Amino acid sequence: MTSRRQFLKILPYSFLLTACKPLVFDTKKVVKYELAANKSTFNFNEKFKANLFLYNNANPGPLLKANVGDILKIDFKNNLDQPTSIHWHGIKNINKMDGVPYLTQDPVQPGETFSYEFPVNQSGTYWYHAHFESWEQVAKGLYGPLVVYDKTDDLIEDDIVILADDWRLNKNYQIDEKSFGSLMDWSHAGRIGNWLTINGKKSPQYSIKENSIARLRFINASNARVLKFGSSLKNNNIITIDGVAVKSMLVEDFTLAPGQRIDLLINTADLLKVDFFEISHTKQLKAFTLNVTKADNKTKNITNIKFKSNLILPKIDNAKTIDIRMQGGAMGNLSKANLDGVEKDFRTLATEDKKLWAFNKEIGSYEYLLATVKLNQVVILDVWNDTRWPHSMHLHGNHFFVKSKEFKENNDYILRDTYLMQAGEKAKLIFVADNPGKWLFHCHMLEHAASGMVSYIDVV
Ligand code: C2O
Ligand code: CU
């Protein structure tokens, strides 16, 4: 793997594809897309046009599809009047394609282009989003779904992305711009919205076929809201988490923190209609509806769908442990912290620098190096959420094992790229550092990241 990745770094794929016939990867298909970040308008309500930032003027941005083993090539153009970049959330990427401004690439300036090109070697549900001042750019709609399919997906009749976003709109169905940068939001739970959309719509309807299998791919693109979904089915069958196949789990409802994905499989035999609800709001909201339609002929054999789950925890005897104490925020215990090498008290940091969160007393940024680890080293991020707030912790470029307390009787290690840590929780995030480069580790509540809860790990 490593050698191929390094090899791909040196030569452009197109050259490889045309000039080097006998290589293993000469069958790799290059799947091409064009994305443009535009200032666009969008109707949340028939009467009012909201000013958003959108990829290809669509909300969400276009669904990018590839098969496992393909190479994705995305030619990107920035038509905004501010810099931006795109991050491919959950993809085990080549570092220089990871889309983190200043760390892995220069920001893409207004009017400039950037070509992202990387192999996708793991199937699953992913997403892409702006990574420059994402607390504003993502809040205005710069994101879209990315799905990598494998053979098993051929057996599935209906495959539907359910990309959820929690917008904060004003009375005129415009983005509430005044509250961008609110110290109250930044020091508390982040920018919590008041308007839930599924694929850009309020309570949309989808049709799925009877006597078959449907796959739903949930993605939470919210700035900060931890969504919770339930349905009119007693059991919801979770088959993948953050793109990774798990032993099937039947749950009544499930949480989806910012950045996380969960896929469900639904057997549509004997179903007429399924309603999904979002239940984190004080009032339960109808999220979307699936209407089951008659199929003329018997569809696929639904008994032979098996998702391989082969999670093998790496040996941790010689692991390198990195202690991370998360601090700050409202009602927290952070009295002083270092910002660019200068120790300041919390009040000064909050009011003058708008910095509110820290790892190990350091106010983070895209340039804050948390630790350097050797290539192929087993790493344990020993994280303590010593704050009064939950945080959705995301590691770029790698999945990590975590003993999740979320799935009660299935309380076992799962492999994910974003983990919701409750206030006071301690967790070990374990991964093999087999992907060289500088990988961000940050809170995906975007206001928390902007105000200090961000760092990177250098794998050398
Ligand atoms: Cu989806 Cu650095 O994030
Ligand atoms: Cu956070």
In order, the DSSP letters of 232-295 are SSS-EEEEEETTEEEEEEEESEEEE-TT-EEEEEEE-TT-SEEEEEE-SSSS-EEEEEEEEE--
Q: What is the pLDDT of residues 40-89, one digit of tens each?
A: 999 999 999 999 999 999 999 999 999 999 999 999 999 999 999 999 99
Question: Can you say how many angstroms the Cα of residue 112 is from the centroid of all Cα atoms in its chain?
Answer: 25
Rg over CA atoms, the chain: 22
Residue 13 has pLDDT above 80, yes or no: no
Taking CA atoms, 129 is separated from 61, 147, 221, 298, 457, in Å, by: 9, 14, 9, 39, 21
Ligand nearest to the CA of 450: 2
Using a 10 angstrom Cβ sphere, with 0-12 exposed, 13-18 middle and 19 or more buried, the burial of residue 56 is middle
For residue 390, report the distance from its CA to the centre of ligand 2, in Å. 6
Per-residue model confidence (pLDDT) at position 134: 98
How far apart (Å, rounded) are the C-alpha atoms in residues 164 and 410? 25
How far apart (Å, rounded) are the C-alpha atoms in residues 229 and 280? 8
For residue 344, report the distance from its CA to the centre of ligand 2, in Å. 21
For residue 8, report the distance from its CA to the centre of ligand 2, in Å. 35
Residue 303 has pLDDT above 70, yes or no: no
Residue 346's CB: how many other CB atoms inside 10 A? Answer: 20
Taking CA atoms, 376 is separated from 2, 47, 324, 364, 379, in Å, by: 10, 56, 21, 25, 9
Residue 297 has pLDDT above 70, yes or no: no
Q: What is the pLDDT of residues 221-235, one digit of tens each?
A: 999 999 999 999 989
Which residue type does 159 have? D
Say if residues 396 and 444 touch (Cβ distance below 8 Å).
no
Percentage with pLDDT > 90 across the chain: 83
Q: What is the rounded average pLDDT of the residues 365-381?
A: 97
The CB-side HSE value for 130 (13 A sphere, CA atoms) comes to 31
The alpha carbon dihedral of 112, 88, 91, 153 has a sign of negative
- Ligand 1, residue 127: give the atom nearest the CA: 1
Query: Is the pTM for the entire model greater than 0.85?
Result: yes
**Pocket (CB within 6 angstroms of ligand 1):** 87, 89, 129, 131, 259, 394, 396, 440, 442, 444
Q: What is the rounded average pLDDT of the residues 356-375?
A: 98
For residue 444, report the distance from its CA to the centre of ligand 1, in Å. 6
- Ligand 1, residue 129: give the atom nearest the CA: 1
The two beta strands, 213-220 and 158-167, are parallel
Ligand nearest to the CA of 260: 1
- Ligand 1, residue 396: give the atom nearest the CA: 2
Say if residues 396 and 87 touch (Cβ distance below 8 Å).
yes
Element (H, E) at 38: strand 30-45
For residue 397, report the distance from its CA to the centre of ligand 1, in Å. 10
Q: What is the pLDDT of residues 249-296, one digit of tens each?
A: 999 999 999 999 999 999 998 899 999 999 998 889 999 999 999 876
Per the DSSP assignment, residues forming a β-bridge with 73 are: 32, 117
Task: Enter the DSSP assignment of 2.
Answer: H
Per-residue model confidence (pLDDT) at position 365: 96
- Residues 6 or more apart whose CB falls under 8 angstroms from that of 8 comprise 16, 94, 119
For residue 68, report the distance from its CA to the centre of ligand 1, in Å. 22
Sheet of 71-78: strands edge to edge?
Answer: 48-55, 30-45, 71-78, 113-119
Average pLDDT taken over every residue of the chain: 92
For residue 74, report the distance from its CA to the centre of ligand 1, in Å. 18
- Ligand 1, residue 418: give the atom nearest the CA: 1
From atom 1 of ligand 1, which residue's Cα is the shortest distance away? 89
How far apart (Å, rounded) are the C-alpha atoms in residues 268 and 212? 5
Q: What is the pLDDT of residues 119-157, one digit of tens each?
A: 999 999 999 999 999 999 999 999 999 999 999 898 899
How far apart (Å, rounded) are the C-alpha atoms in residues 308 and 441? 28
From atom 3 of ligand 1, which residue's Cα is the shortest distance away? 89
- Ligand 1, residue 89: give the atom nearest the CA: 1
- Ligand 1, residue 100: give the atom nearest the CA: 2
